[in-house]
Structure 1
Amino acid sequence: MEHDRTRAMPAILAAATLMIVAAPALAAPLADAQLESTVSAAIRPLMQQQAIAGMAVAISVEGKQHYFNFGVASKQTEQPVTADTLFEIGSVSKTFTATLAGFAQASGALSLSDTASKHWPALKGTAFDGITLLNLGTYSAGGLPLQFPDEVKAPSDLLGYYTHWKADYAPGTHRLYSNPSLGLFGYLAARSLNAPFADLMQKQLLPQMGLQHTFIQVPTEQLSHYAQGYNKDDQSVRVGPGPLDAEAYGLKTTSADLLHYLELNMRPKAQSPVLERTLAITQTGYYRVGEMIQGLGWEMYRYPVSLDQLLKGNTNEMALQPQPVTWLKPIRVPQPDTWLNKTGSTNGFGAYVAFVPSKNIAIVLLANKNYPNAERIKAAHAILGAVDR
Structure 2
Amino acid sequence: MPSIPSSKALSCAAFSLFFGSTACLAAVPDDAQLQALVSATVTPIMQQQNIAGLTVALTVNGKPHYFNYGVAAKDTGQKVSENTLFEIGSISKTFTATLAGFAQTTGKLDLSTKASTLWPELNGSAFDNISVLQLGTYSAGGLPLQFPADADSPETMLGYFQQWKPTWPAGSHRQYSNPSLGLFGYLTAKSLGQPFDQAMTQTLLPKLGLQHTYLSVPAEQMSLYAQGYDKDDKPVRVRPGALDLQAYAVKTSAVDLLRYVQANLKPETLASPLPQTIANTHTGYYRVGDMTQGLGWEMYPYPISLERLLAGNSTEMAMQAHKVQWLNPPQPQPENVLINKTGSTAGFGAYVAFVPSEDVGIAIMANKNFPIAERVKIAHRIISAVTD
TM normalised by structure 1 equals 0.92
Residue number in structure 2 paired with 1:84 = 83
Residue number in structure 2 paired with 1:276 = 275
Contact kept, 8 Å, 1:336 with 1:356, in 2: the verdict is no
Partners of 1:288 and 1:114 in 2: CA distance: 22
Tell me which amino acid in the other structure corresponds to 2:138. Y
Tell me which amino acid in the other structure corresponds to 2:161. Y
Tell me which amino acid in the other structure corresponds to 2:46. M
Partners of 1:69 and 1:34 in 2: CA distance: 15
Residue number in structure 2 paired with 1:345 = 344
Seq. identity, % = 59
- Quickly say closer, same or farther: Cα 1:347–1:370, change in 2 above 3 A: same
Residue number in structure 1 paired with 2:12 = none
1:147-191 per-position Cα deviation (integer Å, ceiling 9, x unaligned): 000111321211111000000000111000000000000000000
Contact kept, 8 Å, 2:7 with 2:29, in 1: the verdict is no
Residue number in structure 1 paired with 2:264 = 265
Residue 381 (1) aligns with residue 370 (2): no
Partners of 2:231 and 2:149 in 1: CA distance: 22
Distance apart, 1:34 and its partner CA = 2.4
Distance apart, 1:336 and its partner CA = 3.3
Partners of 1:334 and 1:314 in 2: CA distance: 20
User: Gaps spanning 5+ residues in structure 1: where?
Assistant: 1-24
1:127-162 per-position Cα deviation (integer Å, ceiling 9, x unaligned): 111101110000000000000001113212111110
Tell me which amino acid in the other structure corresponds to 2:100. A
Residue number in structure 2 paired with 1:292 = 291
Residue number in structure 2 paired with 1:13 = none
- SS of the equivalent of 1:139 reads coil
- SS of the equivalent of 2:273 reads helix
Partners of 1:238 and 1:334 in 2: CA distance: 35
Tell me which amino acid in the other structure corresponds to 2:190. R
Partners of 1:203 and 1:270 in 2: CA distance: 21
Residue number in structure 2 paired with 1:5 = none
Partners of 1:129 and 1:148 in 2: CA distance: 20
Residue number in structure 1 paired with 2:214 = 215
Tell me which amino acid in the other structure corresponds to 2:69. F
Tell me which amino acid in the other structure corresponds to 2:305. S
Partners of 1:199 and 1:60 in 2: CA distance: 30
- SS of the equivalent of 2:214 reads coil
1:264-322 per-position Cα deviation (integer Å, ceiling 9, x unaligned): 01111111231111101100000000000000000000111110110000111110010
Partners of 1:271 and 1:65 in 2: CA distance: 17
Distance apart, 1:32 and its partner CA = 3.1
- SS of the equivalent of 1:151 reads helix
Residue number in structure 2 paired with 1:114 = 113
User: Gaps spanning 5+ residues in structure 2: where?
Assistant: 1-5, 10-27
Contact kept, 8 Å, 2:7 with 2:386, in 1: the verdict is no
Distance apart, 1:26 and its partner CA = 8.1
Partners of 1:119 and 1:26 in 2: CA distance: 47
Partners of 2:372 and 2:259 in 1: CA distance: 23
Residue number in structure 2 paired with 1:368 = 367
Partners of 2:365 and 2:58 in 1: CA distance: 12
Residue number in structure 2 paired with 1:48 = 47
Residue number in structure 1 paired with 2:23 = none
Partners of 2:187 and 2:112 in 1: CA distance: 13
Partners of 1:331 and 1:27 in 2: CA distance: 34
Distance apart, 1:354 and its partner CA = 0.5
Distance apart, 1:334 and its partner CA = 1.2
Partners of 1:48 and 1:177 in 2: CA distance: 31
Residue number in structure 1 paired with 2:356 = 357
- SS of the equivalent of 1:273 reads coil
Residue number in structure 1 paired with 2:322 = 323
Tell me which amino acid in the other structure corresponds to 1:42. T
Contact kept, 8 Å, 1:86 with 1:252, in 2: the verdict is yes
- SS of the equivalent of 2:156 reads helix
Residue number in structure 1 paired with 2:61 = 62
TM normalised by structure 2 equals 0.92
